[in-house]
Amino acid sequence: MTDRGERRRGADVVEIGQAIEAVTLDFGNTLVPFPRASMQGVLAATAERASDRWGFATDEFARVWGEERLRQLAEEVPQGREANMDVRAARVLARFRGHPAPAAGQRWDDDEAAGWSAPGEVEAVLDDYAAAFVRLTPVPPEIGPLLELLASRYSLAVLSNWPLAVAVERYIEAAGWSAHLSAVVVSQRVGSIKPWPEIFLASAGALNVRSGPRLLHVGDDLGADVAGAQALGWRAAWVRIRPEDSALPVAESSGGERPDLVVDRVIDLPRALGLHAHGHR
C-alpha cells in the first residue's frame, strides 16, 4: 500500500463506507486482468474466423487490425470518444478489398469505408470477436463473491471504457455477475470515455443516484478513473496493481491525483470500506 492508502484507516474508512450509496467498478484490469497475451489470443481467434469466412491471411488481418486500432486511438481519445470496434472492422474489411489506408494525418471517410462491406459482415466480425472474448478470457473466481458482498450494501454498476459493449455484456452474463449489478455502462454505447464527465453522469443516471460524493468509482487508471470521478465530486478508489504488460490504453496522469482509498487489488475493497463477510461493518 502507498502512504495515501495507509492514511485511510479507522474512522476515515468507516466514514467513507457509510457515506456512499453506490459503487461503480472499472472492468479491464480492475475486475478482469488483461495481460497483452490475453488480448492477442482474442484477436488471433477473430482473425482465424475471418480467414475461414473470406480467406484473409490471419497474420495480415491481425496486423491491419492493430494499425487501425492505433489510428483510432490517436483520432478519438483526445476528443473523449471511444475507438469503436464497428468502425474498425469496417475499415479493416475495406482495406482487404482494395481501399487504401489514408495517408498520415488524414482521416478515413467512414461512410465510404462501410460501403466496402456487405450487409451483416461487420456484425459477423464483431460477433466472432465477442465470442472469442468470452471463451478465451478467464473469469477470476474471486470476483463473483466480491460483487455479491458489495451488493449486500451498495448499488453496483460496471463503468468501463471498452470499444465493443456487447463483449463486456456477454462476458458479465456468462460469468454470472449480472445478478449483482444494477447497470453495465460502456463507453461505446455512451459515446464518451473516462475521464470525460458524460460517462460518469450516465452511470449515476443508470443507478438512480445523484452524481456526487455518495458515489464511489473504483479503477486502476489514475488519469481516467480517479481524476474523472473526483472532477464530479465522486469518491474514488485506486486499484494499484495491474498487469505490467497490459495492452489496454492508460489516460495521462497529472501526478496530482489523490484517491480517497488505495487498494492493492479490487478484492481488498470490502475491507477498505469496513464491509465484512456477512455484510456487516
User: Is the entire prediction scored with pTM above 0.95?
Assistant: no
What would the pLDDT profile of 190-220 be if each residue is shown by its tens digit? 999 999 999 999 999 999 999 999 999 999 9
Q: Domain segments of the chain: what residues?
A: 3-34+140-272, 37-135
**φ and ψ at residue 272, rounded to 5 degrees:** -65, -25
What would the pLDDT profile of 43-78 be if each residue is shown by its tens digit? 999 999 999 999 999 999 999 999 999 999 999 999
- All three cell numbers of 194, joined, read 473516462
Q: What is the mean pLDDT of residues 219-243?
A: 97
Q: What is the mean pLDDT of residues 162-176?
A: 98
Q: Is the per-residue pLDDT at 279 higher than 50?
A: no
How much is the mean pLDDT over the chain? 93
Q: Is the per-residue pLDDT at 223 higher than 50?
A: yes
What would the pLDDT profile of 112-127 be if each residue is shown by its tens digit? 999 999 999 999 999 9
Measure the CA–CA gap between 19 and 45, rounded to whole angstroms: 45
Alpha-carbon distances, residue 240 vs 28, 93, 227, 271 (angstroms): 13, 39, 14, 15
Specify the pLDDT at position 13: 58
What order do you get walking across the sheet with 22-25 strand by strand?
A: 183-186, 155-160, 22-25, 215-219, 235-239, 261-263
Which residues of 192-267 form beta strands (DSSP E)?
Answer: 215-219, 235-239, 261-263
Contact between 75 and 84 under an 8 Å Cβ cutoff? The reply is no
Q: Show contacts of 14-17: CB within 8 Å, 24+ apart.
A: 14/274, 14/281, 16/216, 16/235, 16/260, 16/261, 16/273, 17/153, 17/273, 17/274, 17/275, 17/281
In CATH, what number does 3-34+140-272 get?
3.40.50.1000
Model confidence at 21, pLDDT cuts 50, 70, 90, reads very high
Q: Could you give the angle at the alpha carbon of 225 between the alpha carbons of 280 and 265, nearest 5°?
A: 50
Q: What is the mean pLDDT of residues 94-99?
A: 98
Specify the pLDDT at position 190: 98
Q: What is the mean pLDDT of residues 8-34?
A: 82
Q: Is the per-residue pLDDT at 12 higher than 70?
A: no
Specify the pLDDT at position 280: 41
